[in-house]
Amino acid sequence: MRAFLSLGSNLGDRRKFLADAVASLPSVVAVSPVYETDPVGGVDQQPFLNLVAELDTQLSGHELLRICQRLESAAHRVRETRWGPRTLDVDIIWMEGVTVKDDRLELPHPRWKDRKFVLAPLRDLAPDLVSAAELELAEGRVWQVEGLE
């Protein structure tokens, strides 16, 4: 099944954290260009590098969430401040035909259509999921930078 993950980093070697996480993901089909983005919400902090990875997976949403959390732990992510600086943030954005809403996971991601840092790289991979109008209306500033390599 088709699934999309949003990955971001704004602490340490941002590009390495993203590259290591993408390399550790199962069944990657495609990776968007990398975008530098202004932080949205939360505290004053450095810009993020963001990308979206497309997977072809048979994992459940909860199984995929556990992988995302392991990747964040491997990057020594510390959760001190909501929407604060982080070495790595990995969110499941959308999974084909999957809707979940419980105390651990909500799919599709509840704020995916509000955030330009998600929609810009997602549109590169899945223009069928993100219209130009939705991208224009989303919050934040993004600009494409070179890829992971």
The token pair that represents 70 in the structure block:
């392991």
Q: What is the pLDDT of residues 1-47, one digit of tens each?
A: 999 999 999 999 999 999 999 999 999 999 999 999 988 766 667 99
Tell me which of 14, 91, 115, 123 is the catalytic residue. Answer: 91
> Which residues in the chain belong to E strands, given as ranges?
2-9, 28-31, 34-37, 48-56, 89-95, 100-101, 106-107, 142-145
Q: What is the pLDDT of residues 45-67, one digit of tens each?
A: 799 999 999 999 999 999 999 99
Looking at residue 82, what is its pLDDT? Answer: 58
Looking at residue 71, what is its pLDDT? Answer: 96
89 is catalytic: yes
Q: What is the mean pLDDT of the chain?
A: 92
Number of domains in the chain: 1
List the CATH number of the domain containing 18: 3.30.70.560
Containing structural domain, residue 74: 2-145
Q: What is the pLDDT of residues 87-115, one digit of tens each?
A: 999 999 999 999 999 999 999 999 999 99
CA angle in degrees (0–180, nearest 5) for 95-100-102 = 145
Give the pLDDT band (50/70/90) at residue 85: confident
Which residues are CB-contacts of 79 (< 8 A; sequence separation ≥ 6)?
Answer: 86
86 is catalytic: yes
124 is catalytic: no
